[in-house]
C-alpha cells in the first residue's frame, strides 16, 4: 500500500512537471518577440479601442480565437500600466447576432473613449463608462460599453448607431472629442458611392454618442483612419492636425470639427513593409501630454508558432518645423529604458576599413537589442550594421550609402540625408522584427524578418574611408513576459 501511494505520488509529480513545462516556455519560443506584444495563441491583427483609464492602458485587437488564420473576428484584450508589460484578459467583443460566419457580423476594427459625462446613462457607480465603437461587418456601426473598468462588456441596445449601407463599405470608426465645437467626432472609412474612386474618410459629429450626423468626406484613404492634433515642438503656439490612413501615411492640415483641410501632400510615416493599421491612445492625461501610437506588423512570418502576428513597439508622435517644412516625427516611448539590461558603450572611436578595430561591437551578441548610435561620416563611402549573423552565415544588413543618401534594410531603400555630415540610428531588434528610427525619428522603417536559429552576432562595418562613432550604446533587452 505504501509502495502504491509512493508510486502514485511520483506519477502526480511527473504529470505536474510535464504540464508545467509548456507554461515556462510559452513566451520563449524561437520566434516569440520578447518586447513586442503578441497574443498567447492564434491570429491577431489591427490594434483596436486604445484608451487610457485610471492608470491602465487598454489595447484591444482583431483576434481569431479559432485558429492562426484571419477570420471570425473578435476583440482580444490586454492591459498595461506602463505600455510595455501586458496582461492578457478574456475576449471583450464577440460577433453580433450570434454569428458563426467567418465575416458577417464579426467584430471589425474600431476605437474607444471614456464617457465622462455619462451620455449613455450606463454608469452605475464611481467608475466612468468605457465605450467602444466598432464595425459589425455587414451589420453596421455599433457600440459596446463597460462599467467595470473594461473587464466586462455589453452591447448597446440601440445598435446599430449607423445602419448598414451595402454600397458604402463603411468600417473602422475612430471617435474623438473636439473641444472647440464641444462635440464628438467620428472618422469613418467609407465610399460615397459604388465607385471605388470615392473611397476615403467621412466625418460625423454627435452630442450624445448615439445620434451621428454626416458632415464631410475626403478621398484617397483606405481603412483604419485616425485623427490627432499635435503641437509643433519648436513653435509652442502652433498646432497641426494629422489624418492617418491604414498604412500609416498621412495628410497634415487643419480640422474645424467638421471638415479636414490638407496642407501637405500625402506623406509616409513609415517606410517598412510591415507597418499597418496605426492607432493612437485616447484619454491620455494632460500631465503626460504625449500622443502614443502603435500598429500591427502585417505579413510577419512566425513558423510553427502558436500565435500569428505582432505589434510594433509603442511610439510617441510629434510635429517639428524644419527648414524644409513641417514633418511628423516618431520615437520609441521613453519607457523602453525599463527593459535595458547590460549596456555596451563607445565614444569618439574612429574606424577604418580593414583594420582590427573596424568591428567595435564584436563582443556583442543577442537576438533582442536596443542600438543607439551617432556617426560622423568623415570620408566613408558607406557603413552599416550586420544583425543576427555568424562567421559562416550572413545575417540582416542595415546599410547607409553616403553618395546616394539612402539607408537600406530588408529590401527597403529609403532617402536619409545627413545632418551636419552626421547620421543617427536607433534600432529595435527583436526576434522577428527590426525597427529603425533614423535622425531622431524623422525617418522610420518597420520590418518583420525570420532569422535562422542560433545566429546572434552583431557587426559594425564601413567601406571606403574614415568613419567616426561619436557615441554608440547597445543594450541587451529584457523580456516583457518572463520577468
What's the rounded Cα separation, in Å, for the pair 376 and 387?
Answer: 21
Give Cβ neighbours of residue 296 (< 8 Å, ≥ 6 apart): 44, 45, 46, 47, 61, 62, 276, 277, 309, 310, 311, 312
CA distance 29 to 40: 11
- Helix H, strand E, coil C: the string for 6-73 is HHHHHHHHHHHHHHHHHHHHCCCCCCCCCCCCCCCCEEEEEEEEEEEECCEEEEEEEEECCCCCCCCC
Strand partners, 180: none
Q: What is the DSSP pairing of strand 467-477 with strand 369-376?
A: antiparallel
d(CA 105, CA 94): 9
- Distance (Å, whole) CA 8 – CA 223: 58
What's the rounded Cα separation, in Å, for the pair 78 and 61?
Answer: 8
β strands within 179-275, DSSP E: 183-190, 200-206, 213-219, 226-232, 235-244, 250-255, 260-262
Dist. CA 247–CA 254, nearest whole Å: 21
Catalytic site includes residue 483: no
Running DSSP on this structure, what letter comes out for residue 337?
G
Alpha-carbon span 155 to 14, nearest angstrom: 45
CA atoms of 317 and 229, how far apart (whole Å): 10
Cell of 75: 476583440
What is the distance, to the nearest Å, from the Cα of residue 255 to the centroid of all Cα atoms in its chain? 25
Neighbours of 117 (CB within 10 A): 11
Which triple of cell numbers denotes residue 374?
A: 551617432
Collapsing DSSP states into helix, strand and coil, what is residue 150?
coil
Q: Which candidate in 46, 96, 270, 430 is catalytic?
A: 46
DSSP one-letter string for 90-103: EEEE--STT--SSS
Cite the active site residues: 46
Amino acid at each position: 500500500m505504501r509502495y502504491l501511494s509512493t508510486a502514485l505520488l511520483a506519477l502526480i509529480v511527473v504529470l505536474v512537471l510535464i504540464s508545467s513545462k509548456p507554461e515556462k516556455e510559452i513566451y520563449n519560443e524561437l520566434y516569440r518577440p520578447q518586447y513586442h506584444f503578441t497574443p498567447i495563441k492564434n491570429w491577431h491583427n489591427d490594434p483596436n479601442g486604445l484608451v487610457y483609464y485610471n492608470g491602465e492602458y487598454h489595447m484591444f485587437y482583431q483576434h481569431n480565437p479559432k485558429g492562426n488564420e484571419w477570420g471570425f473576428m473578435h476583440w482580444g484584450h490586454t492591459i498595461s500600466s506602463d505600455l510595455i508589460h501586458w496582461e492578457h484578459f478574456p475576449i471583450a467583443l464577440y460577433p453580433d447576432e450570434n454569428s458563426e460566419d467567418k465575416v458577417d457580423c464579426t467584430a471589425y476594427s474600431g476605437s474607444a473613449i471614456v464617457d465622462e459625462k455619462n451620455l449613455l446613462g450606463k454608469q452605475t457607480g464611481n467608475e466612468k463608462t468605457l465605450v467602444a465603437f466598432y464595425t459589425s461587418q455587414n451589420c453596421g456601426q455599433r457600440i459596446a460599453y463597460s462599467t467595470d473598468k473594461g473587464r466586462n462588456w455589453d452591447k448597446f441596445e440601440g445598435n446599430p448607431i449607423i445602419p448598414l449601407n451595402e454600397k458604402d463599405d463603411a468600417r473602422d470608426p475612430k471617435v474623438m472629442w473636439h473641444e472647440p465645437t464641444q462635440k464628438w467626432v467620428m472618422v469613418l472609412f467609407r465610399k460615397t458611392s459604388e465607385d471605388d474612386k470615392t473611397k476615403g474618410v467621412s466625418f460625423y459629429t454627435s452630442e450624445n454618442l448615439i445620434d451621428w450626423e454626416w458632415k464631410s468626406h475626403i478621398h484617397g484613404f483606405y481603412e483604419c483612419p485616425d485623427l490627432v492634433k499635435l503641437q509643433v515642438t519648436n513653435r509652442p503656439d502652433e498646432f497641426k492636425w494629422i489624418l492617418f490612413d491604414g498604412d500609416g501615411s498621412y495628410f497634415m492640415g487643419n480640422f474645424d470639427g467638421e471638415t479636414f483641410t490638407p496642407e501637405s501632400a500625402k506623406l509616409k510615416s513609415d517606410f517598412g513593409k510591415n507597418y499597418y493599421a496605426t492607432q493612437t491612445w485616447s484619454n491620455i492625461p494632460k500631465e503626460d501630454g504625449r500622443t502614443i501610437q502603435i500598429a500591427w506588423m502585417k505579413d510577419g512570418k512566425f513558423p510553427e508558432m502558436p500565435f500569428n502576428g505582432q505589434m510594433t513597439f509603442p511610439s510617441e508622435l510629434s510635429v517639428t518645423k524644419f527648414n524644409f517644412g513641417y514633418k511628423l516625427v516618431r520615437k520609441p516611448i521613453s519607457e523602453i529604458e525599463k527593459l535595458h539590461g547590460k549596456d555596451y558603450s563607445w565614444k569618439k572611436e574612429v574606424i577604418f576599413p580593414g583594420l582590427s578595430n573596424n568591428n567595435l561591437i564584436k563582443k556583442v551578441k543577442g537576438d533582442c537589442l536596443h542600438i543607439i548610435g551617432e556617426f560622423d561620416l568623415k570620408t566613408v563611402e558607406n557603413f552599416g550594421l550586420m544583425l543576427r549573423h555568424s562567421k559562416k552565415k550572413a545575417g540582416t544588413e542595415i546599410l547607409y550609402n553616403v553618395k546616394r543618401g539612402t539607408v537600406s534594410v530588408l529590401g527597403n531603400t529609403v532617402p536619409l540625408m545627413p545632418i551636419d555630415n552626421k547620421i543617427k540610428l536607433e534600432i529595435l531588434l527583436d526576434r522577428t522584427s527590426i525597427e529603425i528610427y533614423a535622425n531622431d525619428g524623422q525617418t522610420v522603417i518597420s520590418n518583420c524578418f525570420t532569422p535562422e536559429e542560433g545566429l546572434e552576432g552583431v557587426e559594425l562595418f564601413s567601406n571606403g574611408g574614415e568613419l567616426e562613432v561619436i557615441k554608440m550604446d547597445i543594450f541587451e533587452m529584457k523580456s516583457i513576459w518572463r520577468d
